[in-house]
């Protein structure tokens, strides 16, 4: 329990330094990331990360994370029915 308390405290401190109030504000916010070339291996120092960290303009009414529960019908696939059949285990 103490471990998670310390983790939460450190997370609050980091979020404060970044200027965000909630974890939702951090999710997908690539503007908060920067590359530290000093810790990169020599092969990775010349990699251009700008395309990986690029975030296109998205309208405010479009969500960038899961906000609506989706049903893909995975509970009804044949594999699960076969696994549940007696005598097949």
Q: What is the pLDDT of residues 20-51, one digit of tens each?
A: 999 988 888 888 888 888 999 999 988 998 88
Q: What is the pTM of this model?
A: 0.54
Q: Which residue has the tokens 């690029």?
A: 54
Question: Which tokens belong to 54?
Answer: 């690029």
Q: How far is CA 74 from the centre of its chain?
A: 23
Tens of pLDDT along 47-77? 998 888 888 888 988 887 778 888 888 888 8
């Amino acid at each position: 329990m103490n471990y998670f308390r310390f983790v939460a405290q450190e997370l609050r401190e980091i979020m404060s330094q970044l200027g965000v109030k909630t974890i939702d504000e951090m999710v997908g916010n690539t503007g908060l990331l920067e590359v530290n070339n000093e810790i990169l291996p020599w092969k990775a120092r010349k990699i251009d990360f700008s395309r990986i960290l690029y975030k296109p303009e998205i309208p405010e009414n479009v969500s960038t994370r899961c906000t609506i529960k989706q049903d893909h019908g995975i509970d009804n696939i044949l594999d699960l029915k076969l696994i549940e059949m007696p005598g097949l285990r």
